[in-house]
Structure 1
């Protein structure tokens, strides 16, 4: 059963997305901010992360940047959600974007596609000689734009 980490500081959004995803058979974990989400991602290695863009403390963009610093977490697909107009996409930080209120049919389809394509992305991931020796040691931030 695929695991999904939902990150949002609004309990109603967490509840609604969690219910929709659990109904589809996914195992869902919740986090209310980017810092705790990064810690949970390192412990549980979710198959997908859905994060809000605007949160106090570590926002969704910074969470995505930090995920890309860890070789073990870099292949986890991310869906960015925001109540504001679409952000200028920073290259390769997230895989999909949804504007709130979320179209649940499109959201569920995107979740399914990202979960199906994850093994292929991991196989095709380029090997970078600048990567850290350990999959848990961060790579230099110079590699992430």
Structure 2
């Protein structure tokens, strides 16, 4: 893991007090902190600065956090950026919307500084630079039937059509497809895709599985009730 002062963190919130509070505590830890008060401006900052971690509020003027996250996930140069929502909204539907948009984590506020720093450190442990390898995948390209998965380019080709999936959806598909017919337990999936130091909601895997199925077809990923999932040809 890199030193704290090597990481860039972009904070996006329309409340100046929140920006000041979070920024102050992160800077104390040595992080390089960037701030923005709305989603549109945040996207421009992100494209220019390429932050390692982006912390988004959900409720913002002009472009809310969900829309901002979706837009960021479409930018190839930001495909490895970790995205977390920091928001007072803790309803289930809000969390699901966040994960569907491609977010990696969901942090409810108010939050104590020590807890915030702990969550940020855990999130940054999951950052993978371009040259990083995935221990679960021996080859950079997997070809199964009409489906081709290129790990290095983060590209899926399904029946001749090129697809770009959000980072966690891609990693989930890559993990399952790396060993067809192997049943991956929910714990194995959590640890491989999200990291065992990260606390995520019970529905996280289910939401990501549903999104992947919508893009590559319903028949490739089979649910093993009470256990987990497996990839079938």
Q: With structure 1 as the length reference, what TM-score do the two structures score?
A: 0.82
Identify the match of residue 128 of structure 1 among 156, 159, 165: 156
Q: Which has the higher strand share?
A: 2
Segment drifting more, 114-123 vs 54-63: 114-123
Is there any run of 5+ residues in structure 2 with no aligned partner, and where? 1-5, 135-150, 165-213, 216-233
Please give the residue correspondences for 1:57-72 in structure 2 after superposition, counting only pairs within 5 Å.
57-72=62-77
Output the CA distance in 1 between the equivalents of 2:51 and 2:72.
Answer: 12
The answer to whether 1:88 aligns with 2:116 is no
Identify the match of residue 116 of structure 2 among 94, 107, 115: 107
Output the CA distance in 2 between the equivalents of 1:102 and 1:73.
Answer: 27
Output the CA distance in 1 between the equivalents of 2:100 and 2:133.
Answer: 20
Identify the match of residue 127 of structure 2 among 94, 101, 118: 118
SS at match of 1:58: coil
Is there any run of 5+ residues in structure 1 with no aligned partner, and where? 133-141
Output the CA distance in 1 between the equivalents of 2:69 and 2:155.
Answer: 20
Alignment match, 1:32: 37
The answer to whether 1:55 aligns with 2:64 is no
Question: RMSD of the TM alignment (CA)?
Answer: 2.2
- Count of residues in Structure 1 that have an aligned counterpart in Structure 2: 134
Output the CA distance in 1 between the equivalents of 2:53 and 2:128.
Answer: 12
SS at match of 1:109: helix
Indicate the structure (1 or 2) with the bigger Cα radius of gyration.
2
Output the CA distance in 1 between the equivalents of 2:113 and 2:24.
Answer: 11
